[in-house]
Amino acid sequence: MKIKIAPSILASDFAKAGETVEKLEKCGADYVHCDVMDGNFVPPITFGHQMVANIRPHTKLPLDCHLMVLHPETHFEEFKKAGADYVTIHYEACKNNLIENLQKIKSLGMKCGAVINPDTPVEKIFDCVPLADMLLIMSVFPGYGGQKFIEETLPRLEKLRSFCVKNGYPDKEIEVDGGITESNIDSVLSAGANVIVAGSTVFRAADMAKTIGRLRG
Ligand code: DX5
Ligand code: ZN
């Protein structure tokens, strides 16, 4: 499977967002990971669809919007208008409306993803596998960049990847998000993730292009 790198702009200076995404594209990133936070689902507030609309003209890269918000379904249309390519939503914010919300994202012509926090059993999103374009396993509790990778994520990635393979979705995109560094990337890739979110590691790098290349394993 193709390994894709999705740097998170949470770790960057929002005042320079346009040039940041231009630089990410030049440095070989595959997606731009946009961490949307509402101050309710997670304590911090970051940005909303307006930021996505502002960076849209600066890159051709798919904009991978991670909605850490309550009532995500109230935002889908605005993200569509803003130019979002992927919208990923939390099981913990949707519970029994997750499938319905994923269908709504798809009906708007965007790719959809289901996200689970580190303390949510992987089985909770097994029923999304056929519909979702991407499944995101959080390797930190959402809300902040620069946190330590939670090691228990590895068996969770293996369990999800083997479920996808056994059920006829061997190429399903599985994204991992939080605490990814050059020292844990190999174990993350061998556990079955193929889309790698990295904020601090990329934006702290002396040579961004080299670091993005190294994160491809
Ligand atoms: C945390 C976000 C992550 C975070 C990753 O709530 O969802 O995308 O920005 O940042 P690092 O790579 O610094 O852990
Ligand atoms: Zn994220």
Per-residue pLDDT tens for 18-65? Answer: 999 999 999 999 999 999 999 999 999 999 999 999 999 999 999 999
Q: Check pocket membership of 192 for ligand 1, CB cut-off 6 A.
A: no
Say how far apart CA 161 and CA 67 lie, in whole Å: 23
What are the backbone dihedrals phi and psi of residue 209, each rounded to the nearest 5 degrees, phi first? -65, -40
Q: Check pocket membership of 7 for ligand 1, CB cut-off 6 A.
A: no
Task: Give residue 178 CA to ligand 1 midpoint distance, Å.
Answer: 4
Residue 186 annotated to the active site: no
Quickly tell me which residue has 């996200």 as its tokens.
115
- Of 35, 184, 212, the residue with max ligand 1 atoms within 8 A of its CB, to mutate for a pocket test, comes to 35
Task: Give residue 162 CA to ligand 2 midpoint distance, Å.
Answer: 23
Q: Are 66 and 38 in contact (CB under 8 A)?
A: no
Residue 35 annotated to the active site: yes
Say how far apart CA 202 and CA 20 lie, in whole Å: 11
Chain mean position to CA 125 = 15
Task: Give residue 115 CA to ligand 2 midpoint distance, Å.
Answer: 9
CA-nearest of 174, 122, 118, 126 to 149 is 118
Question: Residue 211 above 90 pLDDT?
Answer: yes
Q: Check pocket membership of 202 for ligand 1, CB cut-off 6 A.
A: no
Indicate the helix (H) or strand (E) that contains 133. none
DSSP symbols for 1-65: ---EEEEBGGGS-GGGHHHHHHHHHHTT-S-EEEEEEBSSSSS-B---HHHHHHHGGG--S-EEE
Among 35, 38, 64, 85, which one carries the catalytic annotation?
35
Position 95 scores a pLDDT of 78
pLDDT, one tens digit per residue, over 84-102 is: 999 999 999 997 999 999 9
| Average pLDDT, integer, range 160-175 | 98
The protein residue with its alpha carbon nearest to ligand 1, atom 3, reads 178
Question: Residue 217 above 90 pLDDT?
Answer: no
Q: Are 113 and 91 in contact (CB under 8 A)?
A: no
Position 12 scores a pLDDT of 98
CA-nearest of 84, 130, 136 to 110 is 84
Say how far apart CA 165 and CA 162 lie, in whole Å: 5
Say how far apart CA 194 and CA 204 lie, in whole Å: 22
DSSP annotation of 139 reads S
Task: Give residue 130 CA to ligand 2 midpoint distance, Å.
Answer: 22
pLDDT, one tens digit per residue, over 172-208 is: 999 999 999 999 999 999 999 999 999 999 999 999 9
Say how far apart CA 81 and CA 168 lie, in whole Å: 33
Quickly tell me which residue has 């479920």 as its tokens.
163
